[in-house]
């Protein structure tokens, strides 16, 4: 009988969009509140009861290996560190660890550069209760750009900053509500059997996320990806965001 679920923490990229910090340090080891980003990712999984975890290593993978070996000693039997190469796209990384995923019913993917505070078990239950092949998770976004609220005559009713975008609409798709993809996804492992060989030209999301029988659970909570140096600096100086990080840190430390 297959085990229920295993996690894949993506941590092998170069982090080129935040090169100010990643010349000597892998992106997943960038510290927020004295904890590397990957610490948050792994502890969020452990808190959800997910103990089988794979880290497909790439750029400066040995640094990540040393960190895990030193700081997750109690979990070393459950955390598998697999070298998947530096110049490897996500689709290729998943295929390189394919044999480790087939023994599980599903696998959950999370990024090691994103802080989030919502219950992963809620997404897992959603996935299994609805018998989806793939379960995506979305988030209600916040905008710091400033929002212009217009009356029907185009006069300005109000200008507001730091608001939640409840939903948005895409051009030519106005009958569908749109939400930001969090990157946290659950996929049935048997879908990997459809892939016979590694193809460098296939985009992971395009290949998987347009198949049939896909659901999405929308969260309304703290979610913050650190994709660029600007994202990093914004987090460092934003008191509201830092309070949310403190709350998350407290939860994970006491989990």
- Indicate if 136 and 146 belong to the same structural domain: no
Instruction: Say what the pLDDT of residue 200 is.
Output: 65
Task: Write the pLDDT tens digit of every residue in 197-233.
Answer: 666 677 888 888 988 899 999 998 899 999 999 999 9
Determine how β-strand 147-150 pairs with β-strand 214-219: unpaired
How many Cβ atoms from other residues are within 10 Å of residue 53's Cβ?
22
- Indicate if 110 and 220 belong to the same structural domain: yes
Domain that holds residue 86: 3-140+180-253
Please tell me the pTM assigned to this model.
0.90
Instruction: Say what the pLDDT of residue 197 is.
Output: 65
In the structure encoding, which two tokens stand for residue 187, read together? 């996929």
Backbone angles phi, psi at 194, to 5 degrees: -75, -15
Distance CA 105, CA 100 (A): 11
Q: Which residues does 122 contact at the CB level (< 8 Å), separation at least 6? A: 217, 219
For 36, what's the count of Cα atoms within 13 Å in the CB-facing half-sphere?
A: 21
Task: Write the pLDDT tens digit of every residue in 171-181.
Answer: 888 888 888 89
Instruction: Say what the pLDDT of residue 198 is.
Output: 62
- Indicate if 230 and 112 belong to the same structural domain: yes
- Indicate if 59 and 153 belong to the same structural domain: no
Secondary structure (3-state) at 37? helix
The yes-or-no verdict on residue 255 having pLDDT over 70 is no
């Amino acid at each position: 009988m297959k085990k229920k679920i295993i996690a894949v923490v993506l941590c092998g990229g170069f982090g080129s969009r935040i090169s100010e910090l990643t010349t000597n340090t892998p992106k997943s080891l960038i510290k927020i509140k004295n904890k590397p980003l990957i610490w948050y990712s792994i502890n969020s999984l452990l808190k959800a009861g997910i103990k089988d975890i794979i880290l497909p290593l790439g750029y400066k993978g040995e640094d990540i290996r040393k960190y895990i070996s030193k700081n997750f000693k109690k979990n070393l039997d459950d955390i598998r560190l697999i070298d998947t190469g530096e110049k490897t796209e996500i689709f290729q990384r998943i295929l390189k660890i394919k044999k480790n995923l087939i023994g599980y019913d599903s696998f959950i993917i999370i990024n090691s550069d994103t802080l989030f505070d919502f219950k992963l078990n809620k997404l897992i239950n959603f996935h299994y209760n609805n018998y989806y092949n793939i379960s995506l998770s979305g988030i209600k976004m916040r905008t710091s750009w400033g929002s212009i609220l217009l009356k029907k005559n185009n006069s300005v009713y109000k200008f507001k900053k730091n608001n939640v975008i409840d939903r948005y609409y895409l051009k030519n798709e106005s009958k569908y509500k749109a939400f930001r993809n969090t990157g946290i996804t659950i996929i049935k492992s048997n879908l990997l059997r459809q892939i016979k060989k590694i193809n460098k030209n296939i985009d992971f999301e395009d290949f998987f996320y347009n198949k049939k029988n896909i659901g999405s659970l929308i969260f309304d909570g703290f979610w913050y990806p650190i994709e660029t140096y600007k994202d990093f600096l914004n987090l460092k100086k934003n008191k509201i965001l830092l309070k949310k990080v403190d709350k998350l840190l407290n939860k994970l430390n006491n989990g």
